Amino acid sequence: MKGRLDKALKEPFSICDMPCAVVEGLNEWEYIPAPMAVVAKAEIAIRRFGMLNDGNGVVLAVSGGADSVAMMHVMIVLSQSHGYKLHIAHINHKLRGEEADMDAQFVCELSKSFSLPCTIHTVDVRSVAREMGMSIEQAGRAVRYEFLRSLCNELGFNRVALGHTADDVIETVLLNIFRGTGLNGLLGIPPVSDGLFIRPMMFCRRSETNVYCKVNRLPIRVDTTNLDPTIRRNFIRLQLLPLLKERLYQDADTAVFRMVELLRADNELLESITQAALDEALIDYGDGYVRISRGRFLSQHIAIQRRMIRALWQRLQGENFILTMEHIDRAVDLINRRSDRAMLTMPSKCTLLIEGDSVALFKPGNIGQHLKQRD
């Protein structure tokens, strides 16, 4: 053995004699030792989807779970080279009593340990759900996104970072499939939404964020409701996906995420067509309403009409509430059938109004004033 080594050291060396360190088909982060691969994946997601520019201000939505705590730490690491300004935010929905209060206190202490400013917001989601006629899940989403948006604006920041991982995308896709969905639903959770909310952990798996927290000695909180299989998302994660991987295809979850990546390019094309159609159809918009031409709307294919309704809704409501296909199809059907004055009540007490060649979407409270002015 020693003789062969001595011979090798004496012979001329060429880098061409070395095996190639690049393996075809591997992702960039697969060359990086864990857990730094998590940081690399986040940086790649930020770059690929144009989430941030150097020096941007970012509100970090931290629940206290492994995903959001890992996201927080990753953003702290990346801020050292990209100059991000960070602010931690946490919302207490008052749904889990003392446990929720302890989560809020935990996030407050965690932010202090990293010398980061923190804002804690407490809201009774059950009361909001009753007042708005929503489910608790819908109300929780609405108040959460509204708080994060308001805080971001108040601070003069650019983005809100959420801790969603690839597992959240996979679970959402499956939920949407069984509920009935179109292409948007098959994409699960977008990397960037409403021009404000970003998800830098989109390429990371939940198992990776758990390991990342352990390796970096990051304390986390465990939401006990995540262990309840009677909740639909938990059922998919705890029972359905393991069964699919055991009985159908061992990489079923990876296959779903791969489908999302393939469909994203198709969706981007359709979104650009939709935006062009909206720009052409737009009549005017103001505080609490947006109005388009009915004729321009009807000139589009049904697939684009549906997307136009969703886009109008997002312009008015942002991420506060997601329309179902039932809501969208009711709106499209009414616009196609009626040219005289007709109204449709939409979620969150919004109103769709058709008058001759105009189609307008109003926030709650705005439709009455408009009708008085017309009459």
Measured CA to CA, the distance from residue 375 to residue 371 in angstroms comes to 6
Confidence of residue 14 (pLDDT cuts 50, 70, 90): very low
Q: How confident is the model at residue 368 (pLDDT cuts 50, 70, 90)?
A: low
Q: Higher pLDDT residue, 182 or 148? A: 148
Pick the more confident residue, 374 or 226: 226
pLDDT on residue 162: 98
What pLDDT is recorded for position 17?
A: 43
pLDDT in tens, 164-178: 999 999 999 999 998
Model confidence band, residue 324 (pLDDT cutoffs 50, 70, 90): confident
| pLDDT, position 18 | 41
Cβ within 8 Å of residue 307, ≥6 positions away: 184, 270, 271, 274
Tell me the domains of the chain and their CATH numbers: 28-164+199-248 (3.40.50.620), 274-374 (3.30.465.60)
How far is the C-alpha of 256 from the C-alpha of 260, rounded, in Å?
6
More confident residue, 314 or 166: 166
State mean pLDDT over 198-211: 94
Q: Region 147-171: what's the mean pLDDT?
A: 96
Q: Residue 142 is encoded by which pair of tokens? A: 């609405």
- Are the beta carbons of 206 and 66 closer than 8 angstroms? yes
Residue pointed to by tokens 């759900």: 129
Q: How many CB atoms lie within 10 A of CB 100?
A: 17
pLDDT tens digits, 264-296: 989 999 999 999 999 999 999 888 889 999 999
Q: What is 308-345 written as a DSSP string?
A: HHHHHHHHHHTTS-PPPHHHHHHHHHHHHH--SSEEEE
Q: What is the pLDDT of residues 127-138, one digit of tens each?
A: 988 887 778 888
| pLDDT value of position 123 | 92
Q: Which of 67, 128, 118 is nearest to 95 (CA)?
A: 128
pLDDT at 212: 93
For 1, half-sphere exposure in the C-beta direction (CA atoms, 13 angstrom radius) is 0
User: Can you give the pTM of this predicted structure?
Assistant: 0.81
Altogether, the residues listed in the chain come to a count of 375
- How far apart CA 85 and CA 77 sit, in angstroms, is 12
Sign of CA dihedral 307, 181, 131, 122: negative
Q: Does the pLDDT of residue 4 top 50, yes or no?
A: no
Bigger pLDDT: 231 vs 13: 231
Q: Rounded to an integer, what distance in angstroms lies between the CA atom of residue 369 and that of residue 276? A: 30
Q: Mean pLDDT throughout 98-114?
A: 95
pLDDT over 50 (residue 16): no
Contact predicate 152/159, CB 8 Å: yes
